[in-house]
Amino acid sequence: TTSTLNIGPSAGSGAFVQRGGSSTYSGDLQAGQLLTVRADSGNTVVTAASGFSNNSTLTIESTSTGFAQLVVDAGPLMNQPAGIINFDGATGNRLLLADLDNAGTVNINGDTNFNRLGDTFTNTGTFNVASDVTLLMQATSQIFNQDAGTLDVQGTFDPSSSTFNFNGGTVTGNP
């Protein structure tokens, strides 16, 4: 399935699921607008041509052996203070190919891979890696900046081939 979802700046509340095949997305997520990128029968790739802001809930989940992938071609995914990004699912894999600027909450609740050469991830909010879950950063030249807020690793955080900068905030658990 191929779909395009465009959310306008004055759009009201709504819940949207993009699943199966390759789809595109554009627009900022405002309060009450929920977006789920779901792999439930094969792989799902959703691509945003430019960066966007999340002021609500964005979920990337796999409920099958396939993968759910969000790609942002240019500019960062900006998770605002009210924003929540969930990487969910016990099967398959979740992938993020984007620069991420987190001032809200990121929950890694299923094995997840940040896997694009040169991406930068900056945390000034809350970033959680659940127990029995792995967050991989395998691409060369990736950078994770812990600038403020909390990085809580109860599972595994593997930034092999990447740079981790502890500039501020708190790191707890099993970093």
pLDDT tens digits, 90-106: 899 999 999 999 999 99
pLDDT in tens, 138-174: 888 999 999 999 999 999 999 988 999 999 999 999 8
pLDDT for the residue numbered 1? 63
d(CA 128, CA 154): 8
- β-pairing, 93-97 with 112-114? parallel
pLDDT in tens, 104-147: 999 999 999 998 999 999 999 999 999 999 999 988 899 999 99
Q: Between vectors from CA 99 to CA 97 and to CA 101, what angle results, nearest 5°? A: 135
**Residue 137 parent element (H or E):** strand 134-137
Q: For 75-85, what is the mean pLDDT?
A: 98
> Band of the pLDDT at 64, cuts 50, 70, 90?
confident
pLDDT in tens, 1-56: 688 999 998 888 999 999 989 999 999 999 999 999 999 888 999 999 999 999 99
Tell me: pLDDT of 69 over 90.
yes
User: DSSP 3-state assignment of 92?
Assistant: coil
Contact 122, 101 (CB under 8 A): yes
Q: Which two tokens stand for residue 45?
A: 């790739």
Q: Residue 60: which of 17, 21, 27 has the closest Cα?
A: 17
Does the global pTM surpass 0.85?
yes
